Amino acid sequence: MTDDAIAALLPADRRLSLTAAEHRDRAHVDAAVDRLLPRDRSSDAERARVRRAALDRLALSRARRVAAARDRGLAARTRRRWCR
């Protein structure tokens, strides 16, 4: 899932925090790749593949959390309508 697709799931006022969170996630992923695959013992292609896979996994996880929060909000609104 791309950054734009994830951002589209969020309301406009939360998109800025998503960008900040993604920058933080990328910094963590870069540090983890540096620890796991030292530059002197691994190829750039291998490092890029692992980095992309980790970022894709983080993006999917974030999208799932956003979708779950959206579903909880919809369920709460539905309950409020029916319980009046």
Whole-model pTM over 0.85: no
Give residue 19's pLDDT: 65
d(C-alpha 26, C-alpha 22), whole Å: 6
Q: What is the pLDDT of residue 46?
A: 92
Q: Give the DSSP per-residue string, the chain.
A: --HHHHHHHS-GGGHHHHHHHHHHHHHHHHHHHHHHS-TTTS-HHHHHHHHHHHHHHHHHHHHHHHHHHHHHHHHHHHHHHHT-
Q: For the chain, which residues make up each domain, given as ranges?
A: 3-82
- For the cut 70, the answer to whether the pLDDT of residue 2 exceeds it is no
The residue among 79 and 25 whose pLDDT is bigger is 25
For the chain, what is the mean pLDDT? 78
Tokens 């925090």 sit on residue? 17
For residues 40-55, average pLDDT:
90
